[in-house]
């Protein structure tokens, strides 16, 4: 009588990192025409090969029905496999000969041999059934065949991660946060955060903050150092974001931080000081928001710049016929909030600039000063407003990220 098969530890196969699910072990039948030979009692017979096919599914071990000698053995299906995890094949007490993985159209999925087995080398697709055919030879020299179906998970929704700044915006200022917006709400924010990897060179501390269930911002403890390179890898494919929503794909973003440009606008003295890499390089008279329309307090970040635009108070509810209505063409505009705050040219208020605050919340400059500012400031540069009489810029208003101190910012992470 042959001894009982030895227990097989998957960690000894050298591919434990991909055997997330419980793999089925199949004891092969001997091939047709096998010749039994008597062996000395001191030499037990060579063990027959055992094949394990695994994916990311977590399933109980499957015990296949006895097979006809020499025929393939179907060990059952693996369901709910993660397509981001390779399909792997391992053989105990034997050697893999051939492995073929095919999709429903019959197309082969590439793979490669590894120590102790084989695995796929390209990503799989959601909601797809893959057929796995394995041929192996046991230590006893007998053939082993097995087939298995691996069914990848079929999400209810796919969440696409869009980026701000957009990938085409390669240069940003020291105040620019990284923004990831999903087109569907994220229930498992911790899972999403673990898949969002940020690296900075030189290295600087940073953390995520969830502005909403579908929007996360990343900023440093302090403004970025000039000449920093920031890289974001959103490895979202295969990530379970909760309630049947999975990440649609992986995306990458790399931006470079240019010189530091920080403007400090003080509503008490109606002056704005301009600092380049920490050195004061210009001072100009300004007019901030009037008492009825005060500018928001705190750091603002430039999110857009336009040579000319039409400003219409009806966009925030003050329409034609209402007191305070305006609609006019304005030049040299740099947006610093989504609440309608800009730094721009205001030739109509040059008499008040440096003396009183009369705008609807914007930072008014003379045409010459506005031209200088427009030429030197860009996306991601910072405008800090003090003594305006207004409330703090909300953290959710475009880039109100810097309104929060570091401990409060860190508390907005799902991993804290």
Alpha helices in 177-234 (DSSP H): 189-194
> CA separation (Å) from 179 to 7, 108, 211?
50, 38, 10
Compute the CA torsion angle 391, 392, 396, 402 (nearest 10 deg).
170
Considering only CA atoms, which of 62, 60, 57 is closest in space to residue 21?
Answer: 57
Output DSSP code: residue 125: -
Contact (Cβ atoms closer than 8 angstroms) between residue 239 and residue 247: yes
The question of whether 362 is a catalytic residue gets the answer: yes
C-alpha distances (whole Å) from 410 to each of 47, 175, 205 are: 57, 17, 11
Distance CA(70)–CA(89), nearest Å, equals 19
Q: Is 296 a catalytic residue?
A: no
Catalytically annotated residue among 145, 217, 293, 344:
344
Name the nearest CA neighbour of 183 among 168, 198, 166, 163: 163
| Residues 319, 265: Cα–Cα separation, whole Å | 29
Are β-strands 250-257 and 171-172 bridged in parallel, bridged antiparallel, or unpaired? Answer: parallel
Q: How far apart are CA 138 and CA 34, in angstroms?
A: 13
Contacts (Cβ under 8 Å, ≥6 apart) of 264: 272, 273, 275, 384, 386
Give the angle subtended at the CA of 284 by the CAs of 281 and 286, to the nearest 5°: 145
Q: Which residue's structure tokens are 């931080």? A: 257
- The span from the CA of 52 to the CA of 91, in Å, is 6
Question: What residues are labeled active site?
Answer: 344, 362
């Amino acid at each position: 009588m042959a001894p009982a098969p030895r227990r097989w530890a998957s960690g000894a196969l050298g591919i434990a990192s991909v055997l997330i699910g419980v793999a089925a072990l199949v004891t092969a039948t001997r091939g047709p025409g096998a010749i039994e030979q008597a062996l000395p009692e001191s030499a037990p017979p060579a063990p027959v090969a055992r094949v394990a096919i695994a994916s990311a599914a977590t399933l109980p071990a499957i015990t296949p029905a006895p097979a006809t000698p020499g025929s393939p053995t179907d060990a059952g299906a693996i369901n709910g496999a993660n397509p981001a995890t390779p399909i792997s094949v391992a053989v105990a007490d034997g050697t893999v000969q051939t492995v073929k993985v095919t999709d429903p159209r019959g197309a082969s999925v590439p793979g490669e041999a590894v120590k102790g087995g084989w695995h796929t080398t390209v990503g799989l697709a959601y909601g797809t059934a893959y057929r796995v055919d394995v041929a192996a030879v046991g230590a006893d020299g007998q053939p082993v065949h097995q087939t298995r179906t691996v069914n990848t998970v079929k999400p209810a929704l796919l969440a696409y991660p869009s980026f701000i700044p957009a990938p085409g915006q390669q240069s940003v200022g020291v105040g620019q946060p990284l923004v990831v917006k999903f087109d569907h709400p994220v229930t498992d924010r911790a899972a999403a955060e673990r898949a969002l990897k940020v690296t900075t060179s030189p290295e600087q501390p940073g953390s995520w903050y969830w502005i909403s269930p579908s929007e996360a911002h990343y900023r440093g403890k302090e403004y970025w150092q000039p000449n920093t390179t920031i890289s974001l890898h959103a490895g979202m494919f295969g990530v379970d974001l909760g309630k049947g929503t999975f990440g649609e794909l992986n995306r990458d973003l790399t931006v470079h931080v240019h010189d530091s440009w920080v403007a400090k606008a003080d509503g008490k003295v109606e002056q704005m000081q301009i600092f380049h890499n920490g050195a004061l390089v210009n001072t100009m008279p300004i007019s901030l928001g009037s008492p009825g329309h005060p500018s928001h307090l705190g750091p603002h970040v430039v999110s857009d710049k336009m040579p000319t635009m039409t400003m219409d108070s009806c966009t925030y509810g003050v329409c034609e016929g209402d007191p305070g209505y305006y609609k006019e063409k304005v030049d040299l505009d740099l947006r610093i909030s989504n609440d309608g705050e800009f730094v721009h040219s205001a030739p109509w208020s040059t008499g008040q600039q440096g003396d009183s605050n009369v705008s609807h919340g914007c930072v008014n400059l003379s045409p010459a000063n506005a031209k200088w500012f427009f030429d030197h400031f860009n996306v991601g540069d910072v405008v800090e407003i003090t003594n305006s009489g207004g409330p703090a810029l909300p953290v959710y208003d475009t880039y109100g990220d810097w309104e929060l101190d570091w401990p409060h910012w860190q508390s907005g992470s799902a991993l804290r």
